[in-house]
Structure 1
Amino acid sequence: MLLAIDAGNTNVVFALVDGREIKARWRIATDPRRTADEYAVWLSQLLQLEGFTRDDVHAVIVSTVVPRALHNLEVLASKYFRTDALIAGRAPVEWGVTIDVDEPASLGADRAVNTIAAHALHPGDLIVIDFGTATTLDFSDYSGAYKGGIIAPGINLSLDALVAAAAKLPRIAIEAPATASVIGRNTVDQMNIGIYWGYIAMIEGLVARMKREVGRPVKVIATGGLATLFERHSDAFDAIEPDLTIQGLAIMAERAHIGA
């Protein structure tokens, strides 16, 4: 089976994939100082709890936006899984799609991988919204070519900045307000309205502007842990794909005939 690793700014997600079927997934806080040995102890125990061993892993593929984390993940693959880690975007698992922007090399690996997965699952022009540390909105055309997008602060990052900068504001949980009212009667309600409905307004507004600029029908795909939270109160999304990056890594490995 394939061990797919998505190293983001907040979490590293590990998934055991058979073909395109995700058998198990785990996440751990991103820490570039975490060694291959630490990963191995943690991961070996989790594999065992799911009924697997390290011997079940025949290939490892990594997508990362944290360059300092890559070395220890490569050591993990070679030392504990006896294979060289495949790095998304490098031979033999190149993108295989056109990155049609001014600085192609600057595009985050997760955004390229998401584009690949989204077009394997949904035809046509697409906007992919990924709710992560940053919230990204990426447009790719019907041919699968990545054409550009938007980077905005993630909702947790926005809340952290608000609480850090305003001494009297408390830390609150991000959740849908109890009512549809946008006139809060107390501090916590007002913060919740501002964060939740403000974020939905931003997403809906940016999606509407992107659609107008494209000028053709566009399908909107959402991914990331908070996508389902916003789906309940917005019609901006046409589909939710919670494992889009992992699916993209599996597709890339499959196309390179790796991971069987």
Structure 2
Amino acid sequence: MSEPVISIRNVWKAYPDKSNKTATIILRDLSMDVEENEFLCIVGPSGCGKTTLLNMIAGFETPQRGVIEYRGEVIYAPSSKRSVVFQEYSLLPWMNVQKNVAFSVDRRSHTDMERMAIAKDYLDLVGLGGYCDKRPADLSGGMKQRVAIARTLAMEPDVMLMDEPFSSLDEQTRRHLDGEIRDIWAKKKRTVIFITHNIDEAIQIGTRIVMLASDAGGIVGEWKPDEHTDHVALKKEIFDSLQTCKCLGRPNVVEWS
């Protein structure tokens, strides 16, 4: 069996208070692997450490204990190999859509003309090839997020990290984009780690779903939607687990030194 793309081993993350005498534990002794070309959805109650974990995989934060590795190398800093799609679109308002995407293409390896061509290819992939000359202000929320996804894809990342990217969109647009991102994953075969509160969304797009407990209790459940024919029953099982995992009886605030 090949080594995992992301390996998380005995990771602890805590935030000390101002006195540095106590700390709130966010993640406690967490271990898991993310395999090649997996579409992993991470769910769990608010405050369970989903975004914190994503930030550590991205290299924006580091654990106090334990280690996170990318292809056998310890993650110490951000890398273009692990690109993030945030809830906010973060597009440059003074640039048109095509230039926004081209901005993320490596200048050392491509000419300006090549970068624009690559941007057009990825805009075609997300269904926005006809909007190259539009500014972000001219687009709907769903279209802006498609541009953000195209921009991330244009970086040619090995791992795409997505932090509730569709949470601010209406349900119809969200479902449409869920289908699109799963189709893009199937075509491009990236490894995807996707944070969501929406169980239906996780079932629709994930190849594996992992649930974290709210009291830094670690992983409390795993499911593979493709192995289930009855998604209604699967949703109920995951929802029931969500209700019971909100407190495993471990204190979140501990003495710290």
TM-score, normalised relative to structure 1: 0.30
Structure ranking higher in helix proportion:
1
Larger RCO: Structure 1 or Structure 2 (Cα < 8 Å, ≥ 6 residues apart)?
A: 2
